[in-house]
Amino acid sequence: MSSISRSLRHALIFGAVLAAFALPAAARADTVTSTIEPPVFSLGSIDGVAGWSSFGVAGFGCAIYDHRVSSLSAVGLNMNSTYAKTFGSRALRISNGVTSGCFSDQTFSPSVPNEAGEAAAASYGFSGGERQSWFESAFTIASANPILPQLGLSMSVSPDRGDGARMSYLRFEDRPAGIAVFFDDFDASVSEFRDIQIATLDRSIPHRVKFRIDFEDGPGNDRVKITIDGADVSPPNATTWEDYSRLLGDQPPTVDSLLFRTSGTASLLALGGGFLIDNVATTTPAVGATGPPGEPGNDGVPGPAGPSGTDPTGAGGGISADEPLTAKASTRLAPKKLRRRGSRVRVPLLCVTADDSHCIGTIEIRNRSRRLISSRGFSLKAGRRTLSLRTTRKVRKNSRVRVTIRTYQPNGDTWRTTKYRRVR
C-alpha cells in the first residue's frame, strides 16, 4: 500500500459545523461539509481547497487523474433543472479515464476533527482528535451523462483515514440498465471479501448515498449500514474490513474522511465525463466541553524495579521500551536507477524495537523540488529488510534526492530520519 504522511495533507478545513440537534447531548455531532461552489471551489484541481487533497491531479502522484471541479455547462447539464437544483453550478467530476493502483495520491474529502474507530485502532498519525465509536458520511452522486451509459465507467468510495487504509467500500459502475452499486466487506470465516450488488440506480437523476459505521471492540462485530435515497440497501450482516487488517497482522485503521478512487482498467471514453459528486458530509460524535481540572491525588507507592535490558546484538545495554521505534535507511541506495522513470529502487532498512513490536511507517523519495519520486508503506519486524520501490518520475544526473523514513510510534508520534543521495 502506497502511503504519504498525513502531515503532507492540507490542514485547512472549510465548513466545519458543530451540529447541535434537538436530541439528547449524546447525539450531538461534529460535521464537515463541502458544497462544491464558487468562490471557494475554482474550476480544475480540488487539491488543497477547503481541506480536500488530490495529489495526483496536482502532479505529485502516480498519475494525473481525471478528478476535477467542473461546471455543469461543461458537461451540457446547465439546462437540466434537476441537476441544477441539486448541484448548483459546479460539482466534483470523477472518471476512470486515468487510473492507477495507488491510494494516497487520489482524492480525499476533508477530515472530521475527531477520528472514529475501535479503542485499539491504528491511526499512525494520519487521523487525530478524540477517538469516537461511529462514523457517518454522505454524498450526492449522478452520471455526467443522464441519457446514455458510459460503458466502462467505474469509481469506488471508501471511509478512510487519509492514506488508503479503507474500512468499507462502495463501487459505482455505469451499465446499460443504470448505475450498478456494489458493496464489499471481509468475511473472516472464509478469509475472503464478498462483493455484493446492492442497487441499480436511475442514471437520469442524482442520488444521495450514506455510510454509517458503528465500531465495536474485538473481531468481526463492526456494523455497516448503507442507505441510498433514504432506503436501507445494506446486505445482511454487513461489516467492515477490520478482520482483513488483522489477517495482515495489523490493527484495524481509524477513519475520518472519504476516499474517491479510480483504479483498474482505464476507460478512455469516460474522459471528460464520469460521475458528478457534491454535498459531501462526514460526521463523528461531538466532544463535550472539558471541565476544570480536579485536585491532584496523592502520590502512589513506588513500583518495583524493572528487569535489565538485553541487547539483541549481544553487546552493551538493552533498548529501552521508552525509546522510539526506528527504521533506518542504509546508504546502499542505487541512485543510478533514479534516472529512469518506472525503474525499481531497492532501499535496505533496519528496524530497531524494544520488544516484538513492528516498525510501521512510510518511506518517500523526493527530488530537490520536493516532488514525489516514489513512496511506500512498511510494517517490519525487528531486523533488516530490503524494500523495493517503483519510481514515478526520473531525476536529472547530478541532482540530489532526499530519502525520508517516517516511523509511527504507539503514542501517535512520528519519528523521522532523512538521508540525501546524489544521482550520478
Q: Is the pLDDT of residue 16 over 50?
A: no
- Give the residue, 278 or 397, on which the prediction is more confident: 278
Asked if 185 and 238 count as a contact pair (C-beta separation under 8 A), the reply is yes
Report the C-alpha gap between 186 and 166 in whole angstroms: 12
**b/e 238-252 (16+ beta carbons within 10 angstroms → b):** bbbbbbbbeeeeebb
Residues of the chain with CATH 2.60.40.2550: 326-422
Q: What is the pLDDT, as a whole number, of residue 241?
A: 97
Q: Is the pLDDT of residue 3 over 60?
A: no
Report the C-alpha gap between 88 and 81 in whole angstroms: 10
Residue 88: exposure state from Cβ atoms within 10 A (0-12, 13-18, ≥19)? middle
**b/e 282-321 (16+ beta carbons within 10 angstroms → b):** bbbbbeeeeeeeeeeeeeeeeeeeeeeeeeeeeeeeebee
Q: Is the pLDDT of residue 226 over 90?
A: yes
- Dihedral sign computed on CA atoms, order 336, 341, 344, 345: positive
Q: What is the pLDDT, as a whole number, of residue 258?
A: 98
Q: How confident is the model at residue 420 (pLDDT cuts 50, 70, 90)?
A: low
The set of residues, in sequence order, having a beta carbon less than 8 Å from that of 58 and lying 6+ positions away, is 45, 47, 48
Q: What is the pLDDT, as a whole number, of residue 11?
A: 30
Q: Is 70 helix (H, G, I), strand (E, B) or coil?
A: strand
CATH topology of domain 326-422: Immunoglobulin-like (2.60.40)
Nearest to 55 by CA among 108, 112, 111, 2: 108
Q: How confident is the model at residue 227 (pLDDT cuts 50, 70, 90)?
A: very high
Asked if 284 and 115 count as a contact pair (C-beta separation under 8 A), the reply is yes
Asked if 155 and 275 count as a contact pair (C-beta separation under 8 A), the reply is yes
Q: What pTM was computed for the model?
A: 0.66
Q: How far, CA to CA in Å, does 82 sit from each of 86, 88, 206, 215?
A: 6, 10, 8, 36
Q: Is the pLDDT of residue 150 over 90?
A: yes
Nearest to 95 by CA among 277, 311, 316, 303: 277
Residues of the chain with CATH 2.60.120.200: 6-285
> Percent of the chain, pLDDT > 90?
57
Report the C-alpha gap between 395 and 250 in whole angstroms: 35
Report the C-alpha gap between 234 and 217 in whole angstroms: 21
The architecture in CATH of the region 6-285 reads: Sandwich (2.60)
156-210 confidence digits (pLDDT tens)? 999 999 999 999 999 999 999 999 999 999 999 999 999 999 999 999 999 999 9
Q: Take residue 77 and report the three cell numbers written for it.
A: 447539464
Report the C-alpha gap between 15 and 283 in whole angstroms: 12
361-378 confidence digits (pLDDT tens)? 677 777 766 677 777 676
56-96 confidence digits (pLDDT tens)? 999 989 999 999 999 999 888 878 889 999 999 999 999 99
Nearest to 402 by CA among 350, 367, 369: 367
The set of residues, in sequence order, having a beta carbon less than 8 Å from that of 36 and lying 6+ positions away, is 46, 69, 87, 88, 90, 91, 92, 277, 278
